[in-house]
Amino acid sequence: MVEKIREIARKLLGEGKVDVVLGYEKGTGPLSERPFVARTVEEVEKLTYSPFAIQNLATYLPRFNNNKVAILARGCTTRAINVLISEGQIERDKIYVIGIPCNGVIKTRELRESIGEEIEDVSIQNGEIVIKTPKEEKKVKFEDWLNISCKYCEYPNPLFYDVLVGEEVKPRGGGYPDVEEYEKLDEDERWEIFEAEMSKCVRCYACRQSCPMCYCEHCFVDSTEPRWIEPGFDKTDLESWHLIRVLHMAGRCVDCGTCELVCPEGVKLLFLTRKVARDLKRDFDYVSGLNPEKPPFFGEFRYDDKGDFIL
């Protein structure tokens, strides 16, 4: 698969069809892959791909809008591209989509922490992740370490592509069992969990920087007048930041899970974004990123929208 990707990238760059290829390269150690921009044919050799490549590359597209860009795209990446097109951030004909059917990405940070010692090498064999440490060889199940969004992913295959690498995969069952489970708890329990999660936040804004939908030049959290969020680690400030971030994501979040995967403190964020996605699907029959022609969720309305909560 990696060889096929390199071959396509080499051809595209060599023929001058695109200016850059957005992909992944090996990170600083095993179990990590980071975004990489290949600008020349020589740089293509660095490109790689595996389920440890956790980030959504659509994040970088608006920054390359004057160039022709080839991008490695999973299902969620193509949905993000659709949202960006519908919001006028990028143009479809400047993007060459190298589609990758995806079996899900791994919670690399959590896995690395659970091993607790130096990792020498990692490979994936028959649905198992084989991790070599100096002492032994550990095997863990691939399914156990899947990102939550991927576990219930309905769109693992790219919605559109110019070239597809590999065979299309079968979607896993959709649904939001994680959200439903949280909903069953009583009010105070929910608040306790929410508060505990949010107080882990150190305000590094990795969730914002990695999110394909967070392209605002001036984020509300940086605004000093009005000051929506004050500096410091008061828990209400941390909670406000995450609540408003989720509200800004409503109807735009494509549920790629990047925000949670890149969080250095392991703050759970998907139970918030997935809750909004579930509501929009259930009550408004709206799924983000399926159609680039459709206006954003908050940019349209229907006369028969749900209104029974209003006195």
Partner 1 sequence: MADYEPKILTILCNWCSYAGADLAGTSRIQYPSNIRVVRVPCSGRVNPQFIVKALRDGVDAVWISGCHPGDCHYITGNYFARRRFYVLKDLLEYVGLEKGRIHFSWVSASEGKRFADIATLVTKEVKKLGPRKKFVKRR
Residues that bind partner 1 (CB under 8 A): 182-183, 187-195, 220, 226, 228, 230, 234, 236-237, 239-240, 243-244, 246-247, 250, 272, 275-276, 279-280, 283-284, 297-298, 301-303, 305-307, 309-311
Choice between 223 and 291, CB closer to partner 1? 223
Least Å distance, CB 155 to partner 1, is 22
- Looking up tokens 């406000």 gives 240
Choice between 112 and 245, CB closer to partner 1? 245
Least Å distance, CB 282 to partner 1, is 11
CA dihedral sign, ordered 14, 17, 19, 23: negative
- Looking up tokens 């044919």 gives 41
Cis? peptide before 226, omega within 30° of 0: yes
How many whole angstroms from its chain centre is CA 67? 23
Choice between 134 and 232, CB closer to partner 1? 232
How far apart, in whole angstroms, are the C-alpha atoms of residue 261 and residue 255? 12
Choice between 145 and 194, CB closer to partner 1? 194
Look up residue 290 and give its amino acid.
L
Looking at residue 95, the DSSP 8-state letter turns out to be E
Choice between 21 and 246, CB closer to partner 1? 246
Cβ neighbors of 308 (< 8 A, separation 6 or more) are none
Beta-sheet pairing, 128-132 with 69-73 = unpaired
